[in-house]
Amino acid sequence: MSDTIDLIFEKYERAQDQLIPILQEVQRQYGYVSPEAVKKISRYLKITENQIYGVSSFYAQFRFSAPGRHSIRVCLGTACHVRGGATLLEMLERELDIKCGDTTSDKRFDLDRVACLGCCALSPVVQIDKDIYSRMTVTKLAELLKSYE
Ligand code: FES
């Protein structure tokens, strides 16, 4: 990883306003921003790791844990939200024992929210990997999870 991160640094000035573009590129290349990457960025930009986590917490796009084997995205766009999207997300957090943005310890699932999956008429909608599941309920979702190893 270190070689690639150094190559990323070469493209950006050593200036604090480059933090977000650097984080975006690290995430594009690795799928997430690892603690090791945060350490290196901190050294490169001369800002603390806490500052990096603090600033990036305003941007939902950044992941700080490696993705799981399956990625669950719960739509919390307006249509899905009013039809129970938040309840589905809460149920998943409880069932998988993780918070939104995290990965289960067995690496089976990672969980996140999205703004709109573009099929509002089918709300509430949950995406697992490339599959979209429409008109989801807590019961259907619990059953569905069993089919993902
Ligand atoms: S709001 Fe969920 S698909 Fe549009």
pLDDT at 15 over 80: yes
Residue-wise pLDDT for 105-143, tens only, equals 999 999 999 999 999 999 999 999 999 999 999 999 999
- Could you tell me if the CB of 125 is within 6 A of ligand 1? yes
Cα of 115 vs centre of ligand 1, distance in Å, is 7
Cα of 71 vs centre of ligand 1, distance in Å, is 17
Q: Is residue 28 within 8 Å of residue 45, measured between CB atoms?
A: no
pLDDT confidence of residue 60: 76
pLDDT confidence of residue 57: 82
**CB burial of residue 37 (10 Å; 0-12, 13-18, 19+):** buried
Residue 11 belongs to what H/E stretch? helix 2-11
pLDDT confidence of residue 78: 96
pLDDT band at 37 (very low <50, low <70, confident <90, very high): very high
Task: Determine the atom of ligand 1 nearest the C-alpha atom of 119.
Answer: 3
Instruction: Indicate whether this model's pTM tops 0.75.
Output: yes
Sign of the CA dihedral running 56, 109, 141, 135:
positive
Going along the chain from its start, the domains and CATH numbers come out as 2-56 (no CATH), 70-145 (3.40.30.10)
Q: Residue 83 forms beta bridges with which residues?
A: none
